[in-house]
Chain A
Amino acid sequence: MLIPHPLLGLRDSQEFTYLGDAALMDRPDPAGGNAEAAFTDYVFLRDNPAGVHRELWFHEQGDRSWLVVTRDTVTHEILGAELARDVKLNEEGAQ
């Protein structure tokens, strides 16, 4: 698989380390009232869809950036890639 890195262009997926669902970027509030239950869900439960999946890849053997890659888990087709940092900043800007 080739991942279209927003800064470096097409890169071999072998240069990356896979973490999992991009929802892992949204950590629950550790001081929240239901923190224990929220963290149990956060750490252990996954949507695991068949189809389009947004997921975190780390460019370990490249520029060491975290990417949010949108990929189809049924066909392995890669539909897009963004810097995770940009995704987070956009989310915060939208709030």
Chain B
Amino acid sequence: MRFSGFRVVKEALTGHKGWGMLWRNPDPKPAYDIVIVGGGGHGLATAFYLAKTFKQARVAVLEKGWLGSGNIGRNTTIIRSNYLLPGNEPFYEFSMKLWENLEQETNFNSMVSQRGIINLYHTDGQRDAYRRRGNAMLLAGADARLLGQDEVREIAPFLNFDNARFPIKGGLMQPRAGTARHDGVAWGYARGADMRGVDIIQNCEVTGFRIEGGKVQGVETSRGYIGAGKVGVAVAGNSSRVMAMAGMRLPIESHVLQAFVSEGLKPTIPGVITFGAGHFYVSQSDKGGLVFGGDIDGYNSYAQRGNLPVVEDVIEGGMALMPMIGRARLLRSWGGIMDMSMDGSPIIDRTEIDGLYFNGGWCYGGFKATPASGYAFAHLLATDRPHETAEAYRFDRFARGYVIDEKGVGAQPNLH
């Protein structure tokens, strides 16, 4: 079934009886060429590109809960490629380009909306740092504009420009950044993969790896043993738990990040805005809710819920940035579990076990990376070589001293 304007009209005239299920619900086969563990955004994107771009026919995605039940359904939907370091920026810009063509590629409305992001600066030093970042973005083929206070005022007049402690002096804007409908991304990839023969098997938890002679043979699951030529693990949040079943320790701690949404309001916030003096970012969903968040709670957690101190901290950031947010009522808050890596950057790599591949360590920036992560992981699984934009995301970068530390805070996950 292909979605199109013609199809919508036809269904409207015939009582909407022709819409089918978006994907099958198959039972697992005894064996596959490639098994992806984790049916979230990254796992589904991997399966999609494996099937579409790399022409792999026998692929399965195993998901312990329901499709997209993890962080793909819990994030704040921001897409952007405003990184600084050479190991990161080309990868995220590759992701941005895939976002721009995602809906055509998957034939699914993921509501990709390039409404722009502005990172505000409050001091001369911060402006200079953003100028450098903007130049790094331009060098990698992304777009960036340094805005003065007047230009920011034109776009977002409601901000607290004259805050006594942190006056807003301007911002670094990436006009091509924006938001996407997070669930729609998972559904689009799932449907696209399923249409090309990928088996998406839900309620199927991996309980162990079968490894013989240093080579992976398959996975033990709650629905029986499944043989596999290669196994790719994309379970960010639970990476340490899953890889421990293969005897590996990872450079990762799991932390909880909270997010918030207000009641629906009339259109107020034109794009994504981030506070430069505290950790606070906000955008407005198409439904009207203000979607915002800030820091992780800062201690190891698998709880998918956070605590009050960070709620207060985020709201304080919001009040400092745009005092009018105090008049909005909070509708919901929730938490998701992040793979916080030791340098704040991800890993897409082989492991010491032949045939076992790993994708994780996305910290709280995994959503924007979904297309490129899937593409690069599919590239690695299909060709055994890293994708050219993901060559820096190796396990051994820590031992070799080639960490990719955007914030420059060292091996302290709760500071990234």
Q: Write the residues of chain A forming the contact surface with B, with a CB cutoff of 8 angstroms.
A: 1, 13-14, 18-21, 37, 40-41, 43-50, 53, 55, 71, 73-76
Contact = CB atoms under 8 A, between A and B. Distances in A.
Contacts of A37: 399
B359 to A, nearest CB: 17
Nearest to A51: B302
A14 B35 CA distance: 43
A20 B303 contact: no
The contact size tier of chain B is 20 to 34
Nearest to A69: B299
Interface stretch (B69-77, B127-135, B248-256): B248-256
13 contacts: A13-B299, A43-B342, A44-B398, A45-B249, A46-B251, A47-B249, A48-B250, A48-B300, A50-B238, A53-B300, A55-B300, A73-B302, A73-B303
Interface in B361-400: 398-399
B307 interface: yes
Given A13-B309, A43-B411, A73-B254, A48 B240 contact: yes
Nearest to B254: A48
A48 B253 contact: yes
Given A20-B413, A50-B241, A75 B303 contact: yes
Nearest to A19: B412
B249 A46 contact: yes
Contacts of A71: 299
A18 B342 contact: no
B106 interface: no
Contacts of B302: 50, 73-74
A7 to B, nearest CB: 21
Given A18-B414, A20-B253, A47 B303 contact: no
Contacts of B303: 73-76
Top 5 nearest A-B pairs (CB, nearest first) are A48-B240, A44-B251, A44-B398, A50-B302, A45-B249
A71 B399 CA distance: 30
Nearest to A39: B399
B148 interface: no
B107 interface: no
B298 interface: yes
A75 B240 CA distance: 18
B398 A73 contact: no
A48 B414 CA distance: 13
B333 interface: no
A74 B238 CA distance: 12
A55 B298 CA distance: 12
A54 to B, nearest CB: 11
Interface string B396-416: 001100000000000111100
B323 to A, nearest CB: 24
Contact of B252 (A19, A41, A48, A75): A48
Given A45-B249, A47-B240, 5 more contacts: A18-B298, A46-B253, A48-B250, A50-B254, A73-B254
A76 B307 contact: yes
Contacts of B123: none
A44 B411 contact: yes
A60 to B, nearest CB: 13
A25 to B, nearest CB: 16
Contacts of A13: 299, 307, 309
A49 B411 CA distance: 18
Nearest to B343: A44
B240 A40 contact: no
Contacts of A21: 300
Contacts of A49: 240-241
Interface string B255-289: 00000000000000000000000000000000000
Contacts of B300: 20-21, 48, 53, 55, 73
Contacts of B299: 13, 18, 55, 71
A43 B412 CA distance: 9
B109 interface: no
B301 interface: yes
